[in-house]
């Protein structure tokens, strides 16, 4: 048995145990399916036991695998804790900041601020993951997480930067060609479907268009937006789209409503790490400067940024 090899293979085993598949584990670890499978196989050979069984639902832990999970998690936490404490003492304005951001901001608002930060701090490298999943800061899946959420309940340090708003939008052409001839409750109009189910969310029934039909199912946010811009229907979108995309307008008779806030979060052990603190402070300033866009000309509730403690 080779302890060094075991140590290196444990993160791959843990991620498969958590996600239930080699493919999902590879995505979370920014690796490949083949690498994850090879690492798990090496661990099984080193211990002389089978850690997973294959099933129709994915990879299922054997009894040996279940016994290994808490031991592997304890080792993982020790390594992560040591890394956080040591990196928390780093006073250099250089190195890598691992950042997690959602697609709704990644492809619209954030490229400009991220580019400005890179220009201001050329010695700091950004490793950016674009995902809707709330990455676990305690497991060091990211150093900084920029999120859109109503509230944050994790044991992390954070700033609520600005509250956004949302509204029902369609293209000007779609409204011009379809709104006037729509029936009661939006009959004859289309919602562009989203999410993992074809069932409309509850708020559709409370909207001015409860009888409009769902059309298509677009699970990826950028494609969903582009289908709206391609005159295929209407959808609930962040209010800043009407500032960024003049071809999109709110549906007649609708108003903006308060939505989630933009939060910038980090683990408390990293709040005095120079490169992380520089990034957080810079992004807060940049996003606050964009408040007129993020609130669609200030129509959403004003929320002050909370200071880091």
Instruction: Give the tens place of pLDDT for each residue, 208-242.
Output: 999 999 988 888 888 999 999 999 999 999 999 98
Contact 283, 117 (CB under 8 A): yes
Answer whether residue 305 shows pLDDT above 70: no
pLDDT of residue 91: 66
Q: How many residues does the chain have?
A: 309
Answer whether residue 55 shows pLDDT above 60: yes
pLDDT bin (cut points 50, 70, 90) of residue 1 is very low
Residue listed under structure tokens 């677009």: 218
Could you count the other beta carbons within 10 Å of the beta carbon of residue 112? 11
Show Cβ contacts of residue 258 under 8 Å, excluding neighbours closer than 6 positions.
163, 165, 300, 301
pLDDT of residue 176: 96
pLDDT of residue 3: 47
Contact 135, 100 (CB under 8 A): yes
Nearest to 291 by CA among 301, 281, 278: 301
Q: Which class for 255: exposed (0-12), middle (13-18), buried (19 or more C-beta within 10 A)?
A: exposed
pLDDT of residue 6: 72
Answer whether residue 84 shows pLDDT above 80: no
Give dist(CA 189, CA 183) in Å, integer: 8
Residues 249-291 have pLDDT tens digits of: 999 999 999 999 999 998 877 777 889 999 999 999 999 999 9
pLDDT bin (cut points 50, 70, 90) of residue 89 is low
Q: 84 forms bridges with which residues in the sheet? A: none
* C-alpha dihedral sign at 179, 185, 186, 192: positive
Give dist(CA 240, CA 230) in Å, integer: 18
Residues 8-32 have pLDDT tens digits of: 888 899 999 999 999 999 988 888 9
3-state SS string for 123-184 = CEEEEEEECCCCCCHHHCCCCEEEEEECCCCCCCEEEEEEEEEEEEEEEHHHHHHHCCCCCH
Give dist(CA 236, CA 104) in Å, integer: 13
Residues 102-149 have pLDDT tens digits of: 998 999 999 999 999 999 999 999 999 998 877 666 666 788 999 999
Contact 263, 146 (CB under 8 A): yes
pLDDT of residue 30: 83
What backbone torsions phi and psi does residue 99 show, to the nearest 5 degrees?
Answer: -125, 135
pLDDT of residue 303: 36
Give dist(CA 31, CA 11) in Å, integer: 12
How far from 109 is each of 103, 275, 291, CA to CA, in Å?
Answer: 10, 22, 11
pLDDT bin (cut points 50, 70, 90) of residue 192 is very high
Contact 283, 146 (CB under 8 A): yes
Residues 150-175 have pLDDT tens digits of: 988 776 788 899 999 999 999 999 99
């Amino acid at each position: 048995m080779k302890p060094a090899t075991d140590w290196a293979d444990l993160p791959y085993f843990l991620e498969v145990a958590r996600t239930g598949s080699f493919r999902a584990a590879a995505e979370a670890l920014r690796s490949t399916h083949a690498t994850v499978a090879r690492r798990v196989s090496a661990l099984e050979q080193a211990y002389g036991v089978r850690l997973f069984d294959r099933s129709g639902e994915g990879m299922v832990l054997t009894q040996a695998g279940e016994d290994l999970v808490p031991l592997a998690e304890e080792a993982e936490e020790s390594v992560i804790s040591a890394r956080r404490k040591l990196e928390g003492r780093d006073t250099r304005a250089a190195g890598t900041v691992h950042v997690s951001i959602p697609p709704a901001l990644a492809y619209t608002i954030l490229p400009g601020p991220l580019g400005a930060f890179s220009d201001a701090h050329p010695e700091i490298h950004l490793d950016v993951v674009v995902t809707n999943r709330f990455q676990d800061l305690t497991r060091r899946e990211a150093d900084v997480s920029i999120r859109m959420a109503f509230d944050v309940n994790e044991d992390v340090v954070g700033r609520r930067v600005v509250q956004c708003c949302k509204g029902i939008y369609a293209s000007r052409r779609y409204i011009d060609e379809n709104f006037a001839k729509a029936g009661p409750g939006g009959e004859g109009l289309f919602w562009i479907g989203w999410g993992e189910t074809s069932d409309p969310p509850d708020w559709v029934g409370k909207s001015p268009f409860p009888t409009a039909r769902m059309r298509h199912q677009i699970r990826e946010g950028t494609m969903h937006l582009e289908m709206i811009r391609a005159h295929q229907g209407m959808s609930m979108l962040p209010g800043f789209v009407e500032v960024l995309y003049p071809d999109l307008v709110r549906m007649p008779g609708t108003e903006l409503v308060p939505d989630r806030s933009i939060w910038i979060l980090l683990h408390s052990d990293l709040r005095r790490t120079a490169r992380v603190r520089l990034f957080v402070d810079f992004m807060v300033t940049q996003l606050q400067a964009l408040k007129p866009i993020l609130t669609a000309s200030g129509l959403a509730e004003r929320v002050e940024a909370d200071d880091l403690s």
